[in-house]
Amino acid sequence: MTLLEREHARDTAMVTMPHRTTTVAITGATSTIGMATTRRLIAEAHRVITVDLRDADVICDLGTVEGRQDAVVQVTRLANGVLDGLIQPAGVDPRQGRRGALVVSRNYFGCVAVLEGLRPALARSGDAAVVLGTATNAFPTRWPVALARLCLDGAENPARQLADRIGAELANGAGAAALARYVRCHALTSEWIGAGIRLNVIAPGFIDPPPLGDDLNDKETIEGLERFDAAIQTTAARIAFLLGPEARSLWRAPLPVVHA
């Protein structure tokens, strides 16, 4: 057999090797990025456990302590105690008139509580990946450091009180900064990468659907919907990449997603 033939045989064997079915949990799985990622992973033969406020395998509110505890228990049960991936792509959009307390409870404390609660199931995989989502436009020029420190200290009640005083957008900026800092501080520890769990952050920003006119056949409306779908699918593809074997050398990496 020639060298070229040996290389071809090796490449063919690599392509035809069966992939192990992995079990992945996704929060916010019934809308936008979460939904697109769920569909992509299912199409790639992953088993996906969906978590959301409605229409999901696990229905709960991650903005509450009870909801987080319920999510951890149910996901662990559905995964039979072994989880290969966890995706938390997005939190509450602060631009929709919501209280700052809700934003910081859901986007930071809920995210971290589910992450830490599912760490034992992720560790049992031996080769697990976590992708957390923040927003590229989440950081105001002067985001409140005091709130970020309360988040990192685990002081949820004082954080909620401060978040209500300063408003949802500033609260979101501080929570996003705290989440990025959390990953930076924990990703390289024995509890995470030492247990075979990769922590990464993806920062797609808030992806808004285009305004729809009366005529859905209008050229501008169609182009706007196409751009919206492309942005969602691009983000889902980046998340799927971070879950896969090609990203095993990546951890503690913030991965921006730039949309036209």
Per-residue pLDDT of 140-190, as tens digits, reads 556 789 999 999 999 999 999 999 999 998 998 899 889 989 999 999 999
Q: Which among 253, 94, 260 is positioned nearest to 183, based on CA atoms? A: 253
Tokens for 11, please give them: 């490449």
pTM, full prediction: 0.81
pLDDT of residue 136: 52
Return d(Cα 63, Cα 147) in angstroms, integer: 17
Amino acid at 195: A
Return d(Cα 86, Cα 29) in angstroms, integer: 11
Amino acid at 214: D
- To which residue do tokens 């599912």 refer? 118
Mean pLDDT, the chain, rounded, equals 82
DSSP run (H or E) holding 7: helix 3-16
In order of 17, 20, 77, 200, the CA distances from 253 in angstroms are: 29, 25, 30, 5
Residue 80 DSSP SS3: coil
pLDDT of residue 90: 73
Return d(Cα 9, Cα 88) in angstroms, integer: 39
Return d(Cα 229, Cα 207) in angstroms, integer: 10
Q: Which among 243, 249, 192, 238 is positioned nearest to 47, based on CA atoms? A: 243
pLDDT of residue 211: 60
Q: Please list, in sequence order, all residues whose beta carbon lies within 8 angstroms of the beta carbon of residue 239, skipping any fewer than 6 positions away.
A: 33, 37, 87, 89, 131, 202
- Spans in the chain with pLDDT lower than 70: 1-20, 135-142, 204-229, 249-260
pLDDT of residue 234: 82
Classify residue 20 as left (phi > 0), alpha (psi -120 to 50) or beta: beta
The full set of domains in the chain, from first to last, is 22-137+183-206+215-256 (3.40.50.720)
| Residues making up the chain, counted from first to last | 260
pLDDT of residue 203: 76
pLDDT of residue 221: 59
pLDDT of residue 4: 37
